[in-house]
Amino acid sequence: MVQAYISGTGFYVPPRVVTNDDLIHHYGVETTHDWIVQRTGIEARRFADAGIGTSDLALEAARAALSEAQLEAHDLDLIVFATLSPEHAFPGSGVYLQQKLGLCEGENAKFVPALDVRNQCSGFLYALSTAVAHVRAGMARHVLVVGAETHSAALDLSPGGRTVASLFGDGAGAVIVSATEEDRGVRGVYLGADGRFAEVLCQKIWDIRERPFIKKNPDGSGHVPADRLWATMDGKLVFKHAVGTMLAALMRACSAHKLGVEDIDLFLFHQANMRINQYVAQQLGVPDTKIPHNIQRYGNTTAATIPILLAEAVREGRLRPGMKVAMAAFGSGFTWGAAIIDW
């Protein structure tokens, strides 16, 4: 039976570091370093410069993943791109990445399909599930899965942006999902969603039900009300559901493979809030040594958090062949997922 394994990982974050103090003194966000750290664990994040889009970040991560897998872009059979911050409303960022990888040029042009996934913080796991299904079904041998975000362009970096602006950063992570006959790889990805809470964490930049969906000013330019322009969140409710749902998702994944928490060598949690992950670990009885964090350096990069964390674990030698990995994420929608991988 064909198995799907991760043959390469890569990540990229913009070089510009924005500390909590930068948010306060440069942007005027009304907060304090201690307030942010105590509630989220975040000390800094990365912001891309103007002119840099989400597919630009993804390109660097994808190149790193291809290099580690010892593949060329033309070896790919599919691109799956998870993001909530594409360059435009449409088309998705996947086709921009395809072009930037050089797949559309020259005599050897290969017009591989490009699929975009819009599941926010759970986006990488939804994308991973799609890639695994294609490989197992024999529809692809090598799939590029990317999670990338450019949040900084859509944050309320002003005195009124305290609740949300301090949480997010820019970055990209990528993996290559490849076919193998070996008994290894992604054992299962378990997903879920609950649309009853769709508006608890959202950004209603427009409402397509309205005519026109963006109201016009007298000069013909568009007008977006402030309550739709920026992301909004009920933090307490998100925290409560994140903890319970991540625990349930992990237990479902482990149970499906008859695993106990002690059988998992490394837990890779979505980096939304250090306190959420610490609470989940405490409830499971997982030692700190099994749970890496990078939220303190990058903030919440949404669909990119798990693949960035994965690539760092590989680079640092923390994740080695033969280890068993569990992943879990929760986010807007509400959506969630968990995965078990034999590395």
Return the active site residues: 121, 270, 300
Placement of tokens 């559901």 in the chain: 241
3-state secondary structure of 185: strand
Provide the angle, in degrees to the nearest 10, between the axes of the packed helices 123-136 and 305-315.
Answer: 70
What stretch of H or E contains 241?
A: helix 235-256
- In angstroms, how far apart are the furthest CA atoms of the chain? 64
Count the neighbouring beta carbons within 10 Å of the beta carbon of residue 204.
Answer: 14
How far is Cα 82 from Cα 120, in angstroms, rounded to an integer?
8
Q: With the C-alpha atoms ordered 74, 77, 82, 86, is the resulting torsion angle positive or negative?
A: positive
Cβ(163)–Cβ(233) under 8 Å?
Answer: yes
CA 136-140-144 angle, to 5 degrees, is 105
DSSP 89-141: SSS-HHHHHHHHTTTTSSTT-----EEEE--GGGHHHHHHHHHHHHHHTTS-S
Strand ranges inside the chain, DSSP E = 3-12, 17-19, 44-46, 78-82, 114-117, 142-149, 171-180, 185-193, 201-202, 215-216, 222-223, 232-233, 266-269, 324-331, 335-342
SS3 of the chain: helix, strand, coil, percent, to 5? 40, 25, 35
Six token digits for residue 325: 């990995």
Q: Tell me which residue of 46, 61, 84, 60 sits closest to 296, measured CA to CA.
A: 46
**Rounded distance, CA 128 to CA 301, Å?**
17
Strands 78-82 and 114-117: parallel
